[in-house]
């Protein structure tokens, strides 16, 4: 029997635990529909309540007939499926080596997590708010004519305000070089000091600051993303994990299948900022 004593539930728990630790963008989306999927191709229909009309009330007069409650419906499709498949040689004695089990799960989780992270980062194309400096992008740095990184973040906050994006739970994801520019600002150094001392995510103008190497690029431009968890809905699930005996080797195989999908459901709660690395 392949991998005697193998318990799928234990491996699944370890995989998901590692997965959550390795993701950046998945922290920033809503997972309200996570429990409603089971197979590739599943769809979740998301209803959104429309606006309510406010009318004048006249004393001793009848009200108008009630308005019909409108609203758009969106579909979240589980259209992404990724797998991993590894072998463990008998000589490694995997069943007597819990550390090896953890390492295999950790590496598989990191690989899947990185794939999902990059996938969600690609939703910059669906952002309803765009700050691109008239199409040329913002060259960020301290040189002549370049945009100060701290000032740009403040302007992003103003843009979110003007688009009625809720103040609670705002975030901004940037590449490491942009974060390095921020660290040159005295105002941000104070927030970053709290992060190092207390583990609090640093903020600028009420926006949580995060960095990722999965920020998408086009030529020299980087697409920073800002918004709230209202913007993107995500659902994912570890669909299968199986152990099997390899026919032509003294080794056991272990494979897993992860299904997921995501959708920008509120474009006006998501902003794309086009930035170019300056000096």
Report the CATH number that the domain containing residue 172 is assigned in CATH. 3.30.2320
* 132 and 153 belong to one structural domain: yes
Same domain, yes or no: 137 and 184: yes
Residues 194 and 134 in one domain: yes
User: Does the residue 150 lie in any domain?
Assistant: yes
- Average pLDDT of the residues in 140-164: 96
Q: What is the DSSP letter of 213?
A: T
How many domains does the chain fold into? 2
- For residues 140-145, give the mean pLDDT: 93
Residue 54 in any domain: the answer is no
Determine contact, residues 85/255, Cβ cutoff 8 Å: yes
Give per-residue pLDDT as tens, 190-202: 778 877 777 678 8
Determine contact, residues 1/252, Cβ cutoff 8 Å: no
Same domain, 246 and 219: no
184-198 per-residue burial string, b: 16 or more CB within 10 A, e: under 16 = ebeebeebbeeeeee
**DSSP H or E run through 176:** helix 176-182
Count CB-CB contacts under 10 A for residue 115: 14
- Which two three-digit tokens encode residue 250? 């003294």
Q: Are residues 273 and 163 in the same domain?
A: yes
Residues 213 and 121: their CA atoms lie apart, in Å, by 10
Average model confidence (pLDDT) across the chain = 87
For residue 206, give both structure tokens: 């009420």
**pLDDT range class, residue 42, cuts 50, 70, 90:** confident
Contact 278, 142 (CB under 8 A): yes
- 5-36, pLDDT tens digit by residue? 666 766 676 667 777 666 799 999 998 887 66
pTM, entire model: 0.83
d(CA 232, CA 22): 19
Domain assignment present for residue 62? The answer is no
Please indicate, yes or no, whether residues 119 and 183 belong to a single structural domain of this protein: no
Domain of residue 167, residue span: 127-230+269-277
Asked whether the predicted pLDDT for residue 137 surpasses 80, the reply is yes
């Amino acid at each position: 029997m392949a991998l005697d004593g193998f318990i799928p539930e234990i491996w699944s728990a370890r995989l998901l635990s590692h997965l959550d630790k390795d993701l950046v963008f998945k922290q920033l989306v809503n997972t309200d529909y996570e429990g409603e999927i089971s197979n590739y191709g599943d769809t979740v229909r998301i209803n959104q309540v429309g606006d309510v009309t406010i009318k004048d009330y006249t004393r001793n007069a009848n009200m108008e007939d009630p308005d019909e409650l409108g609203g758009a419906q969106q579909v979240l499709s589980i259209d992404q499926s990724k797998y991993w498949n590894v072998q463990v040689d008998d000589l490694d004695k995997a069943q007597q080596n819990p550390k090896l089990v953890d390492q295999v799960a950790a590496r598989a989780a990191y690989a899947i997590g990185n794939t999902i992270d990059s996938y969600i980062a690609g939703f910059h194309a669906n952002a309803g708010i765009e700050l691109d400096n008239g199409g040329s992008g913002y060259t960020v740095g301290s040189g002549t004519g370049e945009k100060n990184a701290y000032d740009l973040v403040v302007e992003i906050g103003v843009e979110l305000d003007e688009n009625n994006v809720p103040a609670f739970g705002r975030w901004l994801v940037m590449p490491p070089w942009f974060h390095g520019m921020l660290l040159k600002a005295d105002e941000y150094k104070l927030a970053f000091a709290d992060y190092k001392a207390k583990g609090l995510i640093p903020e600028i103008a009420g926006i949580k600051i995060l960095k990722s190497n999965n920020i998408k690029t086009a030529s020299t431009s980087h697409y920073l993303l800002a918004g709230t968890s209202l913007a993107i809905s995500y659902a994912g699930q570890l669909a299968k994990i199986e152990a099997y005996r390899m026919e032509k080797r003294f080794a056991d195989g272990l494979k897993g299948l992860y299904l997921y999908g995501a959708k920008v459901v509120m474009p006006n709660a998501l902003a794309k900022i086009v930035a170019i690395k300056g000096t």
